[in-house]
Amino acid sequence: MKKRIFSGVQPSGNLHLGNYLGAIKNWVKLQNEYESIFCVVDLHAITVPQDPEKLRKKIIEVAKIYLAAGIDPQKSTIFIQSHVPEHAELAWILNTVAKMGEMERMTQFKDKSQKEGRESASVGLFDYPVLMAADILLYDTQVVPVGQDQLQHIELTRTLARRFNKSFGDTFIIPEYFIKEEGKLIMGLDDPSKKMSKSAKSEYNYIALSDDEETIRKKIKKAMTDSGSEIVYRDDKPALKNLINIYSLLTDRSTGNIEKMYAGKGYADFKSDLADVVIAFLRPFQEKMAKISDEEVLDILKKGADKVRPIASKKLSEVKDKIGFII
């Protein structure tokens, strides 16, 4: 029996190299070893304001990104979160298991609510980690492949599952996380102390998977660098380290090898080649995406939801029964 993995990306903003290198790239490999479920998490996306028309387009775009990246619908199940209402229902039940204190310690909420101010942040944004726990626990997920920024949320998921099991008897599998060392945290091009993020204020923070050649060159040229002129992979040069990381992950060259290639050369040569590397990766990726029709992707998403709904429904019934609801 294969172990089961579950993961997802929010259809909010422009998906970027961080989302690809930290998460989606790993899913493509893992789908060969695991029974894989990948979700477009639209319920998470609405925790910050979204334009309805843009959201509809983004949901389809994210699914196309999964397919263009190499997620194979013959091997993996892809679906839209809101097509399986059990996610929201289990989240409500888990809300009664989660404690205010532990929710208030979630650093992503602190970071994200800072943008608008805590008073204006939605309750949904605060509750996001509980919904994520529901997403994972609903499918008896054993492994959750994510980027480093999601680690705290997986820890919370484990805590909620254990607490529920203790109160009501064995119900949930305690999931493990899968965070690959390489690519686990891609930093912003304009600020290497913060993660590359879709919701960053400046578009110079990220390279979107949809960026064209000119934009990529411009963004990489403008990317922050550190003092000095050598191309070295060192902690005291976080901006350069991040750029070398991206180069390494897209070419499968080691960081040491990249240092050697650029010995005696400067930032201009390195950045120009990095732009070539990113373009060489993104061009075929974007061509593949363009060939996938909306109808094709909607059909895959519908079949995906039909496939996972019975799993979700069975688990939710078990939960309802355990807590004393009449099912």
Alpha-carbon torsion 228, 232, 233, 236, what sign? negative
Which residue's CB is nearer to ligand AQP, number 112 or number 319? 112
Selecting among 3, 198, 218, 241, the annotated active-site residue is: 198
Shortest gap between Cβ of 18 and ligand AQP (angstroms)? 3
Q: By CB under 6 A, tell whether 31 contacts ligand AQP.
A: no
Q: Which of 4, 5, 23, 205 binds ligand AQP (CB under 6 A)?
A: 23
DSSP 298-319: HHHHHHHHHHHHHHHHHHHHHH
Q: Which of 76, 157, 197, 245 binds ligand AQP (CB under 6 A)?
A: 197
Selecting among 25, 58, 195, 271, the annotated active-site residue is: 195
Candidates 98-106, 141-149, 157-165, 248-256: pick the segment binding ligand AQP (CB under 6 A). 141-149
Alpha-carbon torsion 181, 198, 241, 234, what sign? negative
Q: By CB under 6 A, tell whether 22 contacts ligand AQP.
A: yes
**Distance between CA atoms of 189 and 200, rounded to whole angstroms?**
11
- Phi/psi of residue 161, each to 5°? -65, -45
Q: By CB under 6 A, tell whether 186 contacts ligand AQP.
A: yes
**Distance between CA atoms of 162 and 170, rounded to whole angstroms?**
9
Shortest gap between Cβ of 87 and ligand AQP (angstroms)? 14
Active site residue 112: yes
Which conformational region is residue 72 in: left (phi greater than 0), alpha (psi within -120 to 50 degrees), or beta?
beta
Shortest gap between Cβ of 176 and ligand AQP (angstroms)? 15
Q: By CB under 6 A, tell whether 211 contacts ligand AQP.
A: no
Candidates 9-17, 230-238, 274-282, 307-315: pick the segment binding ligand AQP (CB under 6 A). 9-17
What is the identity of the amino acid at 289? M
Cα–Cα separations (whole angstroms), residue 166 to 100, 162, 238: 19, 6, 44
Strand partners, 143: 5, 176
Which residue's CB is nearer to ligand AQP, number 26 or number 319? 26
**Distance between CA atoms of 327 and 316, rounded to whole angstroms?**
10
Candidates 11-19, 32-40, 256-264, 296-304: pick the segment binding ligand AQP (CB under 6 A). 11-19
Binding footprint of ligand AQP on the chain (CB under 6 A): 9-10, 12-13, 18-19, 22-23, 146-147, 149-150, 185-186, 195-199
Residues with catalytic annotation?
112, 195, 198
